[in-house]
Amino acid sequence: MKTVVASVFIAILSVATLVASDLTITSQVTGKGTAAKEGTQVQYFSASKMRVNHAGAKTDSFVDYGQEVIYSIDHGKKVITKMTFQDIQDAMQAMEEQMAGMPEMVTKMMFGDVSEVKVEQLGMDTILGRPCKKVRITLGKMIEELSVDPSLHIPIKDYAKAMSMLNRMPGQAGVLFKRVYEETARLKGVPLRTHITGLMGMDLTTEATAISTAPIPDATWALPSDYTMKDGGKEMKNAMKGKR
């Protein structure tokens, strides 16, 4: 479950508006941290689907908004883990109940005070010859610098809201993730470069190397037919029961 949430979280720190064209962004990921996946990353966005392929980690994340399901594809193990949006919400609710008694000072030591956010305009930047607005967002211990191309949009309706729901986490982590999506939604564009530091040892940079607005082939959304399909929601619920 942690891998699924982390991969989606790192892949999509951006804002979306409903537009007609598809969007494909190829990036190079470098750095360190619990969610780091160095190597080439390709993000595919249509009006109802999102897929992120991580060549270095040999894993893909595929979100089907129409079916309200997310797939984590492990090419090394040839395993697909399926989870519904409701599975994720149920699991997070159970985790929040378990963490209810955790002292606030403990979570603040991990994530800092996420009640206040600082947004700084850093001027202009250029990525792939495209003019971008450079912004720094400080939230708790996390510092995120983004170079945002205002001419691009992710073609998923209510994308920031949907991803905030999908990446719901308990405690201060949940507050932090929610605020991240709220703040990036206000930037009105697509980050072509992000640099995240300060959060649990993370120092991660994702920079676009190619951009396409051509229609995405249907084959992109296909799941490997010879992989084993696992019910991640069921496994997660069983694991939560074992902790009670």
Going along the chain from its start, the domains and CATH numbers come out as 2-242 (2.50.20.10)
pTM above 0.85, yes or no: no
Which pairing describes strands 190-197 and 39-45: parallel, antiparallel, or unpaired? unpaired
User: Quick one: what percent of the chain has pLDDT higher than 90?
Assistant: 35
Please tell me the distance from the alpha carbon of residue 157 to that of residue 48, in angstroms, as a whole number. 8
pLDDT by 10-residue block (mean), the chain, 244 residues: 45 38 92 70 91 86 88 93 84 64 58 73 95 90 90 77 54 60 74 87 91 95 94 76 57
Whole-Å CA distances, 142 to 3, 25, 120, 229: 20, 24, 14, 35
DSSP 160-221: HHHHHHHT--SHHHHHHHHHHHHHHHTT-SEEEEEEEESSTT-EEEEEEEEEE-SPPPGGGG
Instruction: Reduce the DSSP state of residue 130 to 3 states and report it.
Output: strand
Which tokens is 48 given?
């109802």
Written as six digits, the tokens of 107 are 């979570």
What percentage of the chain carries pLDDT values higher than 70?
A: 66
Q: What is the pLDDT of residue 13?
A: 39
Please state whether beta strands 203-212 and 23-32 pair in parallel, antiparallel, or not at all (unpaired): antiparallel
pLDDT one-digit tens code per residue, 146-186:
999 999 988 877 665 555 555 555 555 556 566 666 666 67
Structure tokens at 106: 């403990």
Tens of pLDDT, residue by residue over 209-239, are 999 999 999 999 999 999 999 988 787 777 7
